[in-house]
Amino acid sequence: MEINQITHEIIDSAYKVHSTLGPGLLESTYQACLAYELQKKGFQVEIEKPVPLIYEEIKLECGYRLDLLVENQVVVELKSVDAFTDVHIAQVLTYLKLANKHIGLLINFNTKSLKDGIKRLVL
């Protein structure tokens, strides 16, 4: 499946979760529900996937985890915050670099309208 179609389906599923649950819940709730919706559609979804940090010749297991990795291509970072900050965007870009992926979605479920809580990031 083409990457744009995958991101479209992820966003479509996020809209379904948001319209059903609304804002104000924990990230872990949205994570479980979004993973469920994507798996129902037949996507391979890895939840809380560990990502090591490699510095020169050492590999550090520092506890970095991708919220969701969809089809081994799209990093999905979920938030339930008042607003995105530069740190949230930097976090996704860093995860993309560490995981050697090119497309990331930053989704904030704590918004009245989910369209205001979605950022597509490319590395």
The Cα–Cα gap between 22 and 46 comes to 24
Report CA 61 to chain centroid distance, whole Å: 20
Give average pLDDT by consecutive 10-residue segment, the chain, 123 residues.
96 98 96 98 97 87 92 98 95 95 98 96 94
Q: According to the model, what pLDDT value does residue 61 have? A: 83
**pLDDT tens digits for 55-68?**
888 888 887 999 99
- CATH number, residue 94: 3.40.1350
Q: According to the model, what pLDDT value does residue 62 have? A: 81
Say what the pTM is: 0.94
The Cα–Cα gap between 107 and 116 comes to 9
As for how many domains the chain has, the answer is 1
Q: According to the model, what pLDDT value does residue 112 have? A: 95
Q: According to the model, what pLDDT value does residue 58 have? A: 87
Compute how many other C-beta atoms are within 10 angstroms of the C-beta atom of residue 88: 16
Q: According to the model, what pLDDT value does residue 91 have? A: 95
Range of the domain at 116: 3-122
